A and B are shown apart, each in its own frame.
Chain A
Amino acid sequence: MSASLVFFIVVAAVSLTSALGVVTSRWPIHSALFMLVNFITLAVFYVTLGAQFLAAAQVIIYAGGIVILILFVVMLIGSEKIGGPSGHRLWTPYAGVALGVLMLATMIYTFASSLFGAPGTADAIEAGHPKAVGMTLFTQYILPIEMAAVLLLVALIGALLLARQPKAGAQ
């Protein structure tokens, strides 16, 4: 077994464990920390796949931004314990488990037919560099990137409006 396979298995094990941790933790704050671990393992995968820029973005935006934001809100309001079995909604855990397992089974069945078994051929070392990514972003995908800019503006305005303390006498 080659070193890259062993490396994959180790990181994947951490990734899977942390994903399970997010789902099963009783404290929202533990879920958030497990999620942080999960996001970092994904960044490791992106590096091994040759997408260095994406890995950096993953760490900066997800691990550095989104998880912190979630932690803030958890500490602000949602830090109460999510109890044992009653921590779930009445019928939805069964639906959730059923859908999750169904989904997993379908996907494994689909992928196991070894349609995609062939290992990659092309050398992607150059392709993950910020320069190449930037060229693609600002030529072919110029319209989406401008839209994403407006979308972030919208999210900013929306978050400000919704989370602001309502003024007395407003309405």
Chain B
Amino acid sequence: MGDIGFGSLGGILPELIIVLGGLLILVLDIAQADRQDSGRGYLAVSVLFLIVGLTGVLLQIGMEPYIVLSTTAIDPFATYLKLVIYTGMILVAIGGGSYMNRHATGRGEFWALFLFVTAAMSFAVSATNLLLLYLSIEFLSITSYILAGFLRTNKRSAEAGLKYFLYGSVAAAVMLYGMSLLYGATGSLDLGEIAQGLAANAEMAAIIPAATLLTLVGLGFKASLAPFYQWAPDVYDGAPTPITAYLSTASKAVGFAVMARVFVVALGAYRVEWAPILAGLSVLTMTVGNVIALRQTSVKRMLAYSSVAQAGYILMGLTAVVSSQQADLTVLGMNGLNGLLLYLFAYLFTNIGAFLVVLAVEDETGSTELDAYSNLVQRAPGMAWAMFIFLLSLAGIPLTGGFVGKFYVFGAAVQHQYFWLAGVGLVNAAIAAYYYLNVVRTMFFASDGEAATGRMAAPVAIQSVVLLCVLATIWIGLYPPRLLEWANSASRQLLALML
């Protein structure tokens, strides 16, 4: 316990900076008193603090793993996910910030919460202790409930917030019950000690299935896996679009990261038992998401269901950590986990970009329905082509980031002998391509006579973030060696902890 002190705070400096930024904004907001502010200053301060945080995380790349304050790991896995989270939040802040500034009351509060939720996600991916894990997940959830219901005068936003709250709290309570069983079985809250405790006394095995399933409910909820996905379309649809953008990317990444850490580090010894369950959930999730997405007429809702389906593909990565034949875990080039990590990064840019295009169209036409997109290419050629790239990436067409992600998770599934899983995944990808291309058809070849009603002028902030997302999607599609290296070292480090 001798490591308590200012010196030990260096590892969590990025998060501390972000929290301080949030507090600073609150103080600035109080200083403003009653005068209404455009909120631009808060946006700038938030982005500045997020960039400082991101820089701090970049400096941590390549460090030897170590534990801060006995509950938080600074290791390649956490660092990689923090990169995902900070990048995503910066993109959302720049692209969606002005929308929130225009529509929200309480702008100072919004930006403070935005920074706090970033710090909470950051802690969640690095926590090695069930207590901190639960606390940071609940922190993330509670802040997200507030942000989803932030536009109080908008009935849909308020309803989304309440629904998210009710589903989310039930899932969190069920997860907590599972955690209490893990604690009871091993007498410890530390993930590593739980693994040792489970290995030491085998008569605890009876409690493991119950504990695993209950924990999976809460984490699966965050990652929007079937059968815990019902909240996702409603909340993604009703929440303000910038909030949807981060809920469907950064927040989902946290769900997968925590799931990976808990299952690999604490329950690694039982991998032969949980891998088939995850495989089943993966198939169920992608099928349900795709089948319902086919019927949607609103692009925002279609993207919401597609995001459920994408969660199914991402889960394939975690399933394929384990071979049905117990091959050596770390020698395989595609260990599943690096596929999951790559997928999360590629999906981040693609999905945030797609939701920002939705936001731009919503701003212009006031609608998220497919009709609003007809002949978009004449009104806003840049947006239409960007959306085209994003949809290709979501469908997994080569030379886009989505393809690299899918290539790695499918490759890992095949390498680990999950042929049926890869097969179902391929069929699903084909179904998904249909509804993605349907949007493309509407944007480029809509036949109805609704003539181009003048050009659509998207704000410069949205245009630049969308451009950045397009470039990043293509960059990941070209196999960036640096990113692959980071994902590989992160996944190897985590898998090495598996007993």
- CA A167 – CA B161 in complex, angstroms? 20
Contact B106 A143 (CB under 8 A): no
**Residues in B neighbouring A151, C-beta threshold 8 A:** 135, 138-139, 142
For residue B184, which residue of chain A has the nearest CB?
A116
Of all chain B residues, which has the CB nearest A155?
A: B142
For residue B55, CB closer than 8 A to chain A, the reply is no
**Does B113 touch A at the CB level, under 8 Å?**
yes
Interface residues of A in 117-160 (CB under 8 A from B): 139-144, 147-148, 150-151, 154-155, 157-158
- Cα A154 to Cα B147 in complex, Å, equals 11
B152 adjacent to A166 (CB under 8 Å) = yes
B351 at the interface (CB under 8 A from A): no
By secondary structure, the B interface counts as: helix
Q: Nearest-CB distance from B138 to chain A (Å)?
A: 7
Query: Known contacts A106-B210, A115-B207, A167-B105; is A162 also within 8 Å of B152 by CB?
Result: yes
Q: Does A171 contact B (CB under 8 A)?
A: yes
In the bound complex, CA of A170 to CA of B154 (Å): 11
A35 to B: closest C-beta gap in Å? 15
Q: Which of B101-133 contact A (CB under 8 A)?
A: 103, 105-106, 109, 112-113, 116, 119-120, 123, 131-132
How many residues of A are counted as interface, with CB atoms below 8 angstroms from the partner's CB atoms? 26
Judge whether B31 is part of the interface by a CB distance below 8 angstroms. no
Q: Is B448 an interface residue (CB 8 A)?
A: no
Chain B interface: which size bin? 35 or more
Tell me the minimal C-beta distance from B324 to chain A in angstroms.
27
Q: How many angstroms from the CA of A64 to the CA of B431 in the assembled complex?
A: 55
Residues of A within 8 A of B152 (CB): 161-162, 166
Question: A150 to chain B: which residues have CB within 8 Å?
Answer: 19, 116, 119, 139
Q: How many A-B residue pairs have CB under 8 A?
A: 83
- Name the A residues within 8 Å of B26 (CB-CB): 157
The smallest C-beta distance from B267 to any residue of chain A, in angstroms, reads 16
With an 8 A cutoff between CB atoms, is B149 at the interface?
yes
Report how far A153 CA is from B123 CA in the complex, Å: 17
Name the residue among A141, A155, A157 with the largest chain B CB count within 10 angstroms: A157
Q: Is the CB of B4 within 8 A of A139?
A: yes
| Distance (whole angstroms) from the CB of A42 to the closest CB of chain B | 14
Measured between beta carbons, the chain A residues less than 8 angstroms from B105 are 161, 166-167, 170-171
Write the chain B residue with the least CB distance to A106. Answer: B210
**Could you list 22 examples of A-B contacts with CB < 8 Å?**
A107-B210, A110-B206, A110-B210, A115-B203, A139-B1, A140-B71, A141-B71, A141-B131, A142-B4, A143-B132, A144-B71, A144-B131, A144-B135, A147-B120, A150-B116, A154-B139, A157-B112, A158-B113, A158-B145, A158-B146, A162-B146, A162-B161
Rounded to whole Å, the gap between the CB of B160 and the closest CB of chain A is: 12
Please measure, in the bound complex, the distance between the C-alpha atom of A52 and the C-alpha atom of B120, giving whole angstroms. Answer: 31
Distance of A167 Cα from B139 Cα, bound (Å): 28
- B319 interface contact, C-beta 8 A: no
Q: Across the interface, which residues of A come within 8 angstroms of B109, CB to CB?
A: 157, 161
Using A115-B207, A143-B132 as known contacts, say yes or no to A154 and B142 having CB atoms under 8 A apart. Answer: yes
Scan residues 9-46 of chain A and give those whose CB is less than 8 A from a CB of chain B.
Answer: none
CB neighbours (8 Å) of B131 from chain A are 141, 144
B204 at the interface (CB under 8 A from A): yes
Using A143-B71, A161-B109 as known contacts, list a sample of 7 further A-B pairs with CB atoms less than 8 Å apart, ordered by residue number in A: A115-B203, A115-B206, A143-B123, A148-B135, A154-B116, A157-B109, A171-B103
Tell yes or no: A86 within 8 A of B by CB. no
In the bound complex, residues from chain A placing their C-beta under 8 Å from that of B71 are 140-141, 143-144
| Beta-carbon contact of B149 and A162 below 8 Å | yes
